[in-house]
Structure 1
Amino acid sequence: MKPLISVIMPVYNCEEFVEESIRSIIKQNYTNWELIIVDDASEDSTLEKISKIQDKRIQVIGLKEHHGIASAFAEGYKLAKGQYIVRHDADDISLPTRLYIQQSHLNENPKLGMVSCLISCFTRDQSLRKECIFIERIQNYYKSNDDIEKSIIVGFLPIIFPTLMIRKEILDKALQENKAGPFDDQMELLLDLIKLSPVEKVNTILYSYRRHKNAYHIVNQKEYDQYTAKLLKDNSIRNYFKYKEFYKNLNLEVEKENQLNENSKLRVLMMVDALNIGGTETHILNIARKMIEMGIYVVISTSGGPMEVIMKSYGIKVIKIPIDSDYISNKKKFGMIKAAKDIIDQEKINIIHCHLFASMQLASEIYRMYKIPYVVTIHGLFYPNNIFYPTCVEATRIIAVSKPVKEMLHNKLGDKCGDKVVVIPNGISKNYVNTSPVEVDIRKELNIPKNAGVLCYCSRLDWNKTHAARVLLFSFVQVLEEFGNLHLIIIGDGPGRENLEKEAQVINEMAKKEVVHMMGAKVDVIPYYRNSNIIIGTGRVALEGMMCKKPVIAVGNQGYIGIVSESRKNIQWDMYFGDHDALEKPTVTNLVRDIRYLLMDMDRRISIGRWGRVWCEKMFDIDKCVNEIVDIYIKALNK
């Protein structure tokens, strides 16, 4: 009979413990397993100890040269026949019910790719007893998948690899992508596995984890601790788990080949401090995509962030460099300059387009040293005052995304900016709505009736936008009294999310059903807009709402502007939908007034939505915006 479980045990110089470890597998009350022991060229009597144990389910492989746990495991894995895989350490012990309980859990939970368990940590060495107690308590504290992922976000991995039972198809995928690190505990593989599948622990101690002074972790403890801390601090790892919901509709397994036109005369380095979730980063994504479509060579340099994965999924080449937001006082400044110059030389860059604080400073330094022209885009009013003079004066062109931003630049720089400042708004594609699958039914997913009214607020939940969301929640409670069949969707993430979720929970308890839906950040917001009657937000959210033919209520960092309509279009543009200027602060009074005005007349909503689409296409077309930017590049190179 083909074994269901393959236990792979790499062994090296473990004569003292290996026999006990092997017998713990033989004593399992579940019997459909195979044990593949891979001796990694032991120099003691390990092989002799193994040979004393006879069981037809055991297969022993002897390697001629010592290469480490990962290599030994790989050799054993080649022979594995089981659907479930366990890598068992040769100095540890599995309790008799381990294999039965873990395989039962996987059989009962087909969506789970692997399962771990609680541990007991033991030692014969008195000096290691306190450490053992601590390891056992902290490992057994984190049990659910959510708790494990939250722990990784804060820099601690609460799973010991050999406690896992893993589906072979999941391990196959992870091993294809995995690159072994400098330490031999397969932590990189473990993190790749957790990215591919949820993991949880059965609430039972099934594995005895031994600590002794010859153990791998203790022999290499200082270097190993430093490396694991560095690995878990990597933003790409933290962001993956922090923004898992954000990524879930994206095919992360297929990264498109970089779309690069080697024959382009324009070779642009788009430089941005970090690729966080927000309007600035979405704008950079869209202009980069459009330029690539036009045949322009575009590369993005950044310190990384959750949007990095999105960029790569569109075939945009992203190169990470250590851009530090505290650039001016940073002692690593010259390291950043060198890293950027290496990219410029390798990619044959002839113009830089920078967007945020450190990127602007870095581009200006490169210009002073190497005379590579650069363009600056100022995305809002949030830039520090001391950033403008040293970075904008020598820029070829300064792009302001709105009129208030242009006025701010003239106030800060005066005659120094001369005629360099040009207003080019954030653009949006006429095909924006077509990029999302129409079969996604958000109302069904959220259990919202087809005849219910839906408000949708979308924003990063930070700064004054969190305050606006809070005012909206209070306004929603009032409107709900009049329009009982009403729901509110809030899309976004940030420091304010946790408190807003608590307030939303109170409203849902009062309504005795879920009427406020906190969705977190989303890659694709179009299905939410399609299923809503009114969009509330600012900047890019306003543009997206209009492109979906929805009426928009504009409220942003600076305050409240109200309904975007033909009679108010100039005010909306002059104030950039409340994000760069405003008429008043958001209040329950003005929000309730405008929500009621739109909810009471469906024809009015449809009319405003249709007008908004036409105005948006005319005023904010991405093709027009990108053509203006490209003209700036060409003039800069021809100077």
Structure 2
Amino acid sequence: MRLLVYPHDLSIGGSQINAIDLAAGAAASGHEVIVYGIPGPLVEYVAERKLRFIPARPLPYRPAPSRIAQIATIARQNRIDLIHAYEWPSCLDAYYGASLFLNVPLLCTVLSMDVMPYVPASVPLIMGTEDLGAQARKVQRSDVWVIEPPIDVERDNPNIDGSEFRRRHSVSAKDFLIVSVSRLALDLKLDALVRAIDAVDLLAGSHPLKLVLVGDGPAREALETRAKAVNLRHGRDVVLLPGAEMDPRAAYAAADLVVGMGSSALRALAIGRPLIVQGEEAFSEIFEPRTLGLFLKQGFYGLGDGWPGAQRLARQIEELVVDPARRTELRALGREVVTERFSLERAIDLQLGIYQQVLANPPRRRLADAARSARLALMLEFANHDPTRKQRRKARELAVLAAARSGRWPPEAVECGP
């Protein structure tokens, strides 16, 4: 097969890394693969995996007319057999040119935590959890499969040495190191990151804890301010934000405990670290036999009850701090589960089988689907660029960041006018 793989962008993120790893697996199986995307830090990772890369035009609109035309040209010139797009904006860029008018088969993977209404109902989908797969089947006429975020269990393994990471960040043998590897973003991430800082603040007077938040993003300055207040309160470095790392494996390996969600959580398990899965609205649960079924069903993420404060997470952390035998058991459990169910090799086999099914039974395209998706996407784009809405959204973001810098969390609802 000649494949065009289109991650939604090439900034550092789980969906993008999954797309590149699976593309490399398809190439290793003998298929011709081109990766197309808006340039970002992961261009280096594409090159490392020895994949051909074509940069996308950076027009900010979704869908983007220039990318629609560019993808159609690439598909025609390279005689592409199948386009695999990740997340709904990329899907629409590929759909409205190469797929709709050139009849190039299209497959879309959605790893966000919602079934997005913008994907045409005739486009075959891969979802990231069993729950989301069941929801998608209610609205899609096309086939829907589930492939959970894959992990390269050979590359991410318990033998990785984290000692240099600990030395670099002045973590002593007596320190209990908690690590989070995450985008420092407002959406999906900020609630978990603030609660991690606050939970360590609650425990640092009783235990020699250190929290290292590995990552970068628009919330970094606010989180650094909150972390500095914690460090000042305890008279030592309790919370550190060293920035993003292209290869964070040593950070995971250095940790006595990882807190996180999604692909980051799975990588921690593959490297043999105990894990507390975080989500939004105060969700947090220890990964253990009791919660295994929950995470296999809904993914390594969740929505909580919005309870204020970080006491729940602090209790869970303390349970593992004081029980090294339990941490040892959880290390073994996590490695076993990821190797058996989430391995990259297994996901590559599943995905190549899906490619064959899509090519053997290409879906019928319907103009009604195209019109509906275009209408919804354009309505969203107009809303995103409406000056009044942009002002309200900016005001909300500033209020949330102000709360993240200091004070109670979560912030109270922000009123910003009609």
Q: Same fold (TM over 0.5)?
A: yes
Q: What amino acid is the match of 1:615?
A: V
Matched with 1:426 is: 149
Please name the residue that 2:192 is paired with: 468
The structural deviation recorded for 1:584 is 3.7
Cα deviation 1:112-150 (Å, max 9, x = unaligned)? xxxxxxxxxxxxxxxxxxxxxxxxxxxxxxxxxxxxxxx
Q: Which of 122, 132, 146 is the equivalent residue of 1:405? A: 132
Distance 1:558 1:544, change over 3 A: farther
Amino acid at match of 1:427: P
Q: Distance in 1 between matches of 2:70 and 2:159?
A: 37
Q: Counterpart of 1:394 in structure 2: which amino acid?
A: S
Q: Which amino acid aligns with 1:475?
A: A
* One-letter amino acid matched to 1:318: F
- The reply on whether 1:295 has 2:30 as its aligned counterpart is yes
1:624 maps to: 346
- Hey, what's the Cα distance between the residues in 2 that align with 1:427 and 1:343? 28
2:310 equivalent to 1:588: yes
Query: Which letter does structure 2 place at the counterpart of 1:364?
Result: Y
Q: For residues 395-422 of structure 1, give each alpha carbon's deviation from its aligned partner in whole angstroms, at most 9, with x where no partner exists.
A: 2x210111232244245x2xxx246111
Matches of 2:182 and 2:95 in 1, distance apart?
31
Matched, 1:370 2:97: no
The CA distance in 2 between the partners of 1:491 and 1:625, in whole Å, is 27
Output the TM-score relative to the length of structure 2. Answer: 0.80
In structure 2, relative to structure 1, the CA distance for the partners of 1:571 and 1:439 (3 Å cut) is closer
SS of structure 1 residue aligned to 2:62: coil
Aligned to 1:111: none
Task: Specify the alignment match of 1:348 in structure 2.
Answer: 79
Q: Which one-letter code corresponds to 1:512 in the other structure?
A: G
Counterpart CA distance in 1 for 2:313 and 2:102 is 52
Q: For residues 80-479 of structure 1, what are the structure 2 equivalents within 5 Å? A: 266-322=1-57, 324=59, 326-328=61-63, 333=65, 335-365=66-96, 366-381=98-113, 385=117, 387-388=118-119, 391=120, 393-395=121-123, 397-411=124-138, 413=139, 417-418=140-141, 420-433=143-156, 438=161, 441-462=164-185, 463-479=187-203
1:541, distance to aligned residue in structure 2 (A): 1.1
Q: Distance in 2 between matches of 1:605 and 1:637?
A: 46
SS in 2 for 1:431: coil
Cα distance between partner residues in 2 of 1:637 and 1:455: 46
- Cα distance in 2 between the residues matched to 1:509 and 1:573: 40
SS in 2 for 1:433: coil
Alpha-carbon deviation of 1:603? 0.8
Query: Post-superposition shift, 1:473?
Result: 1.0
Query: Could you tell me which residue of structure 2 aligns to residue 597 of structure 1?
Result: 319
1:575–1:582 CA contact under 8 A, matched in 2: no
1:608 lines up with 2:330 in the alignment: yes
- In the TM superposition, residue 501 of structure 1 has moved relative to its aligned partner by 0.5
1:159 aligns with: none
Aligned alpha-carbon RMSD (Å): 2.1
1:402-461 per-position Cα deviation (integer Å, ceiling 9, x unaligned): 1232244245x2xxx246111111111221235996386111111111221111122111
Q: Which SS does the other structure have where 2:12 is aligned?
A: coil
Q: Is the 8 A contact 1:464 1:558 kept in 2?
A: no
For 2:297 and 2:257, the matched residues in 1 are separated by 22
The answer (yes or no) to whether the contact 2:85–2:108 under 8 Å persists in 1 is yes
* C-alpha separation in 2, matches of 1:325 and 1:376: 20
Following the alignment from structure 2 to structure 1, what is the Cα–Cα distance between the partners of residues 284 and 143?
29
Amino acid at match of 1:516: V
CA 1:637–1:576 in structure 2 vs 1: closer, same or farther (change >3 Å)? same
Instruction: Give the SS at the match of 1:606.
Output: helix
1:325, CA displacement in angstroms?
A: 5.0
Deviation readout 1:160-194 (Å, 9 max, x if unpaired): xxxxxxxxxxxxxxxxxxxxxxxxxxxxxxxxxxx
Q: Distance in 1 between matches of 2:342 and 2:157?
A: 17
**Residues in 2 aligned to 1:277 and 1:636: alpha-carbon distance in whole angstroms:** 29
Measured after TM superposition, the shift of residue 504 of structure 1 is 1.1
Residues 613 and 555 of structure 1: CA distance in aligned 2, closer, same or farther (over 3 Å): same
Q: RCO greater where, 1 or 2, for CA within 8 Å and sep 6 or more? A: 2
1:543 paired residue number: 266
Are 2:3 and 2:80, in contact at CA under 8 Å, matched by a contact in 1? yes
- Partner amino acid, structure 2, of 1:345: R
Tell me the amino acid that sits aligned with residue 275 of structure 1: L
Does structure 2 retain, via aligned residues, the 8 Å contact 1:301–1:320?
yes
- The residue aligned with 2:358 is 636
Shift of the 358–310 alpha-carbon distance from structure 1 to 2, 3 Å rule, reads same
> Runs of 4 or more off by more than 4 Å in structure 1?
434-437
Partner of 1:623, secondary structure, is: helix
Which residue identity does 2:238 align to in structure 1? Answer: V
Deviation, 1:349, is: 1.3
In structure 1, distance between residues paired with 2:106 and 2:320: 45
Asked if 1:555 is matched to 2:278, the reply is yes
Q: Match of 2:204, SS? A: helix
State how far apart, in whole Å, the 2-side matches of 1:343 and 1:435 are.
41
Q: Distance in 2 between matches of 1:523 and 1:369?
A: 38
Distance 1:326 1:617, change over 3 A: same
Percent of paired sites with the same residue: 21
* TM-score in terms of structure 1 length: 0.53
Note the C-alpha offset of 1:372. Answer: 0.7
Distance 1:599 1:443 in 2: 17
Assess if the C-alpha contact under 8 Å between 2:10 and 2:38 holds in 1: yes
Deviates more, 1:268-277 or 1:495-504: 268-277
Work out the number of aligned pairs and report it.
358
Contact 2:157 2:270 (8 Å CA) reproduced: no
**Which position in structure 2 is the counterpart of 1:187?**
none
SS in 1 for 2:101: helix
1:615/1:435 Cα in 2 relative to 1: closer, same or farther (>3 Å)? closer
SS state at 1:300 partner: strand
The alpha-carbon deviation at position 342 of structure 1 amounts to 2.4
Name the CA distance, whole Å, in 2 between partners of 1:306 and 1:382: 26
Asked if the contact 1:535/1:552 (under 8 Å) is kept, the reply is: yes
Contact 1:324 1:358 in 2 (8 A): no
Instruction: Flag structure 1 segments of 5+ consecutive residues without an equivalent.
Output: 1-265
Q: Determine helix, strand or coil for the equivalent of 1:370.
A: coil
Structure 2: runs of 5 or more not aligned: 362-418
Cα distance between partner residues in 1 of 2:265 and 2:202: 24
Which one-letter code corresponds to 1:518 in the other structure?
A: L
Q: 1:311 to 1:611 in 2, by over 3 A?
A: same
Q: How far did residue 359 of structure 1 move?
A: 1.6
**Structure 2 CA distance for aligned equivalents of residues 525 and 624 of structure 1:** 23
Deviation at 1:552, TM superposition (A): 0.5
Give 1:582 shift: 3.1
Aligned position for 1:529: 252
